[in-house]
Amino acid sequence: MKIQKRMIGIILAIVGASFWGLGGTVSDYLFRYRHIDINWYVTARLILSGIILMIIFKILNPHRSIFIIFTKFTSTLQLLIFSIFGMLLVQYSYMASIDEGNAAIATLLQYIAPVYIIFWYVARRKATFKFFDVLAITLTLTGTFLLLTNGSLDRLVVPTSSITWGVISGLALAFYTIYATKLLVNFSSILVVGWAMLISGILMNFKAPLWQFDISQITFSTLSYLSFGIIGGTAIAFFFFIKSLQYLSAKETTLFGTIEPVMAIVASAFWLKVTFLPFQLVGIVLIILLILMLSLKKDHAN
């Protein structure tokens, strides 16, 4: 039974991360070729995905109020903190990194998060460094280094602004992953994610109102890409990722999520024709190796 639950968590984490990676590549396409404004896009993703998740929650729980999370000051405050420093910061910094560089690199930089989480647990004395942690950190950092530099210490192969936003998104994802567990103890993950998206989307709406969009830009293909970016790459991806935390540890879920950069890299290469240099490909192999190791490892701490 324990193994079965663990497999459910692994599947949720992998599918969610895969959709997230593909969603990032679709966003890259929309910024690059359809000239969609990043601020409006973040507003639309958050508000519409939030509404979709709320509707799903109500359908699955017709007798439960969607406002139950606001009945206590503590949960309300936790939700606001999670919405701003988790959901909003993850979404915006990730999209900004894509806009300044590309989806493959931005996604990988976001997934330095496992390193931050491991160090956080060690610093809080909730865990000690184990051989696997050291190996995971080594593979993650080595893969990141190779993808950013192609093995050269003299220069970066991606813009500094993209790297900066990517590091911020990694820190935000680490916070997002750890902090979410406080709310998931008492509330449904779909409700937590739905409200976090809606609240952060409303905040973004002050910067880039949802209704300020040139409808003449919309073609059927653009609408299709926007739909996947909002529903598949955001609503479903976030829900699956958070849901997996009910079966796996925060550290493990985030590490399984490293399949996201693999999906983004493959989609970018074959669809957007992004070229990767030789040592960058070595970095990709190291990330795939990490994912295979994680699928075989059991977290004895849970």
pLDDT tens digits, 267-295: 998 899 888 888 888 887 887 777 666 55
Q: Residue 251 domain-assigned? A: yes
Interacting residues of 148 by C-beta distance below 8 A, sequence separation 6+: 105, 109, 156, 157, 158, 163
- 103 located within any domain: yes
In a domain, 301, yes or no: no
Domain presence at residue 259: yes
Q: Which domain holds residue 69?
A: 2-296
Confirm whether 269 is domain-assigned: yes
Q: Is residue 302 part of a domain?
A: no
Tokens 């459910």: give the residue: 8
Q: What is the pTM of this model?
A: 0.84
What are the angstrom distances between the C-alpha of 88 and each of 140, 156, 187, 204, 209? 25, 28, 20, 8, 15
pLDDT grade, residue 296 (50/70/90)?
low
Most confident of 202-206, 246-250, 258-262, 296-300: 202-206
Cα 194–chain centre separation: 15
The residues near 296 (Cβ < 8 Å, ≥ 6 apart) are none
Average pLDDT, rounded, for the chain: 85
Percent of the chain at pLDDT > 70 equals 92
| pLDDT digit string, tens, across residues 214-239 | 777 788 888 999 999 988 888 888 77
For 53-96, the pLDDT digits (tens) are 999 899 989 999 999 999 999 999 999 999 999 999 999 999 99
* Residue 168 within a domain: yes
For 124-169, write each residue's pLDDT tens digit. 777 677 777 788 778 877 887 887 888 876 777 788 899 999 999 9
Q: What is the pLDDT of residues 12-37, one digit of tens each?
A: 888 888 898 899 999 999 999 998 99
Q: How many domains are there within the chain?
A: 1
- SS3 string, the chain, reads CHHHHHHHHHHHHHHHHHHHHHHHHHHHHHHHHCCCCHHHHHHHHHHHHHHHHHHHHHHHCCCCCCCHHHCCHHHHHHHHHHHHHHHHHHHHHHHHHHHHCCHHHHHHHHCCHHHHHHHHHHHCCCCCCCHHHHHHHHHHHHHHHHHHHCCCCCCCCCCHHHHHHHHHHHHHHHHHHHHHHHHHCCCCHHHHHHHHHHHHHHHHHCCCCCCCCCHHHCCHHHHHHHHHHHHHHHHHHHHHHHHHCCCCCHHHHHHHCCHHHHHHHHHHHHCCCCCCCHHHHHHHHHHHHHHHHHHHCCCCCC
58 in any annotated domain:
yes
Q: How far is CA 81 from CA 90, 93, 236, 271, in A?
A: 13, 17, 22, 37
The string over 160-197, giving b where at least 16 C-beta atoms fall within 10 Å of a residue's C-beta and e elsewhere, is eebbebbbbbbbbbbbbbbebebbbeebbbbbbbbbbb
